[in-house]
Every structure is written in C-alpha cells, then in structure tokens.
C-alpha cells in the first residue's frame, strides 16, 4: 500500500495515476472527496484529512509501506514557515507512528541552504526532519522551478498583456514538468530500492530563462510578441497581495526569487542524464494553451 499526500495536486495526481496504472494499492490523501473522486474511480482508496493534523496523518499512513510526502502550497497563511513546520511535523509523526519504512519526499533545488531561500528553507528543514526518523528510508526529490508556475501568470497575460515576476529575465534556471517528478517518484516507489537518506535533483529538459519560457508559451497562445517583464521585489510583493496572497507568503516567495537571482537557488550537481527529465517547455506549452482558453 502506498499513501500519497497532495494527491489532487501537481505531482501527487500524476504519481497516484502512475501507481494505479501499474496495479499498486494506493491511498490518496486530500481534503475533498469530490476532488479525489477521479482517482477513486481508478481504484484508489481515499483518505480525507488535513496534512496539518498529526493524528489524521497517523491514520492516513497506517498500513502503508511507503509514503509520497509533500508540504502543500498555501498562499493565505500569515506565517508560511510556521505552516510548513506544522505540516512537516504532522507528516513525520504519522510516518513514525504508522511504522512507514519508505518515503519519497518532494523538496526543491536550493535546499542545500538553511536560510536565504524563503520557503525552500522550510523544505530543507523538512528534509532534516525526515532524515531524523529512525529506520526510515527516504529520498528527497529536489525539483527545479515547476512549469506549472507559469499557469499562475495567465490572469496577468489576459489583463495586462505581459508575463512577469521578480525573477531576472535572462537568468538560466532549471525548469521542470511536475509530471516528470511524479514519474521518478513512481519508479522509486515501485522499486523501493533505496536505503538510508538520499537526495536527487530533477532539473527539467534544459535550463531556461524566463524570457525564453514566456516566448515559447506566448507563441502557443498566438501571442508571438508576449513579453516577460521583471518586477521590482516590492512591486511583485504588492501584485501577489492584490491577487489574494498573504503578505507573509508573498515575502517568502520574494525571498525564493531573490535566492534564484542571487545564485543561492541553484542545483548542487552538474546537469547529467540522471537529473535531466524528458518534458520540454514546448511540450508543456500545449497544456498552457489549453489552460489559457479554459480547457485545462
């Protein structure tokens, strides 16, 4: 039995689908039966509960040999690091009490640093927390910048005619499809060939600048001249807040951008066949185009 946290999200959903397609028993964890239903229809067992709830995580993981864990993204909390800590402690407690032997945990590039990287430092803290669970075999998947982040820019493109963030326009960074992270997680979970604590960086098909990525996405929606605009940190924080993001979360996300721009959020390894993943931004642009017209 595999327990999948965040089973309706960017990485959890394709992971749960991949495990089910290979005939595995899967328990999908989320807060809404309606959102979990497509997975239940494919044979998954559902568990409704919050990752912030320690007792719920014990029940969610009981009987599972392996867990896929992540700290779900939240945009509305005042203190993002405290929220990450609460979820992380509940997950670690559940793993310990339920006697889970294996975990694949979603982290991010830049997690080699314990500060100066915003919410990524919270992911690092969670790596350390899971590494301290006696007897747990755990792999931390350190993903690059998700392609899916570009979907949050659709509203801005429609309203302002540009795509923008606080990231430098010409900084080449690893950008990766969430489904490729899910595919690696599925292989690791089906084989259970890892022991102790380890990490694996997943860097996408190639490094990309924001200008280049936005150019490809623009062409996919028929806007050949779509421009990427870098916002000042204060303007980006303000823009996020007008979209309903709390100030505390906006500040953490700005610190992530600053971490990229100042060279802290970088991979530790050189690019290799092992950390390169298949999906290109050109392939993802088809998903983007569907989402742009409301079919995603």
Ligand X SMILES: NC(=O)c1ccc[n+]([C@@H]2O[C@H](COP(=O)([O-])OP(=O)(O)OC[C@H]3O[C@@H](n4cnc5c(N)ncnc54)[C@H](OP(=O)(O)O)[C@@H]3O)[C@@H](O)[C@H]2O)c1
CB 114 within 8 A of CB 80: no
CA distance 112 to 98: 29
Shortest Cβ distance from residue 140 to ligand X (Å)?
10
State yes or no: residue 143 binds ligand X (CB under 6 A): yes
Instruction: Looking at 111-209, list the stretches that DSSP marks H as alpha helix, in order from N- to C-terminal side.
Output: 119-131, 154-160, 178-191
Shortest Cβ distance from residue 72 to ligand X (Å)?
3
How far does the chain reach from its first CA to its final CA, in angstroms?
Answer: 30
Q: Site for ligand X (CB under 6 A): how many residues? A: 26
Pattern 76-115, ligand X, x by CB under 6 A: ------------------------------x-x-------
CA distance 125 to 42: 35
Q: Binding ligand X by CB under 6 A: which of 26, 64, 123, 226?
A: 123
Q: Binding ligand X by CB under 6 A: which of 46, 69, 105, 119?
A: 119
CA distance 111 to 119: 10
Shortest Cβ distance from residue 184 to ligand X (Å)?
13
* Residue nearer to ligand X on the CB measure, 106 or 166: 106
Hey, which residues does 29 pair with through a beta bridge? 47
* Residue nearer to ligand X on the CB measure, 9 or 215: 9
State yes or no: residue 71 binds ligand X (CB under 6 A): yes
Q: Binding ligand X by CB under 6 A: which of 62, 112, 149, 251?
A: 149
Q: Are strands 26-30 and 45-48 parallel, antiparallel or unpaired?
A: parallel
* Residue nearer to ligand X on the CB measure, 102 or 145: 145
Q: Would you call 25 helix, strand, or coil by DSSP?
A: coil
DSSP character at residue 232: P
Helix, strand, coil percentages for the chain (3-state, nearest 5): 45, 20, 35
Q: Binding ligand X by CB under 6 A: which of 2, 47, 102, 146?
A: 146
State yes or no: residue 257 binds ligand X (CB under 6 A): no
State yes or no: residue 8 binds ligand X (CB under 6 A): yes
CA distance 94 to 68: 12
Radius of gyration, alpha carbons of the chain: 19
State yes or no: residue 72 binds ligand X (CB under 6 A): yes
- Asked whether the CA dihedral 146, 151, 155, 158 is positive or negative, the reply is positive
State yes or no: residue 296 binds ligand X (CB under 6 A): no
Q: Kindly identify the residues of this chain, within the stretch 30-69, that bind ligand X according to CB under 6 A.
A: 30-32, 35, 50-52
At 266, give phi and psi (nearest 5°). -140, 155
State yes or no: residue 73 binds ligand X (CB under 6 A): yes
Q: Kindly identify the residues of this chain, within the stretch 188-247, that bind ligand X according to CB under 6 A.
A: none
Residue with the CB atom nearest ligand X in the bound state: 9
| Residues contributing to the site for ligand X (CB under 6 A) | 6, 8-12, 30-32, 35, 50-52, 70-73, 106, 108, 119, 123, 143, 145-146, 149, 178
């Amino acid at each position: 039995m595999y327990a999948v946290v965040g089973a309706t999200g960017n990485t959890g959903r394709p992971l749960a689908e991949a495990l089910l397609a290979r005939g595995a028993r899967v328990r999908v964890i989320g807060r809404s039966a309606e959102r979990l239903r497509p997975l239940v229809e494919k044979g998954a067992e559902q568990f409704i509960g919050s990752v912030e709830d320690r007792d719920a995580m014990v029940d969610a993981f009981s009987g599972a040999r392996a867990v896929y864990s992540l700290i779900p993204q939240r945009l509305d909390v005042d203190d993002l690091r405290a929220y990450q800590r609460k979820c992380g402690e509940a997950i670690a407690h559940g793993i310990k009490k339920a006697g889970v032997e294996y975990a694949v945990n979603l982290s991010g590039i830049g997690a080699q640093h314990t500060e100066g990287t915003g919410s990524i430092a919270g992911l690092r803290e969670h790596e350390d927390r899971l590494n301290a669970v006696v007897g747990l075999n755990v792999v931390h998947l350190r993903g690059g910048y998700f392609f899916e982040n570009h979907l949050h820019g659709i509203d801005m493109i429609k309203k302002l005619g540009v795509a923008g963030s606080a990231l430098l326009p010409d900084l080449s960074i690893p950008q990766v499809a969430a489904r490729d992270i899910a595919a690696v997680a599925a292989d690791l979970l089906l084989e259970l060939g890892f022991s102790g604590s380890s990490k694996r960086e997943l860097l996408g098909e190639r490094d990309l600048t924001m200008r280049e990525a936005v150019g490809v996405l623009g062409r996919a929606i028929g806007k050949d001249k779509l421009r990427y605009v870098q916002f000042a940190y204060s303007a980006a924080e303000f823009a996020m807040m007008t979209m309903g993001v709390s100030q505390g979360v906006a500040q953490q996300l700005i610190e992530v951008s600053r971490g990229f721009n100042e060279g802290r959020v970088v991979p530790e390894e050189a690019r290799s066949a092992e950390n390169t993943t298949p999906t290109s931004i050109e392939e993802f642009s088809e998903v983007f185009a569907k989402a742009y017209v409301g079919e995603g």
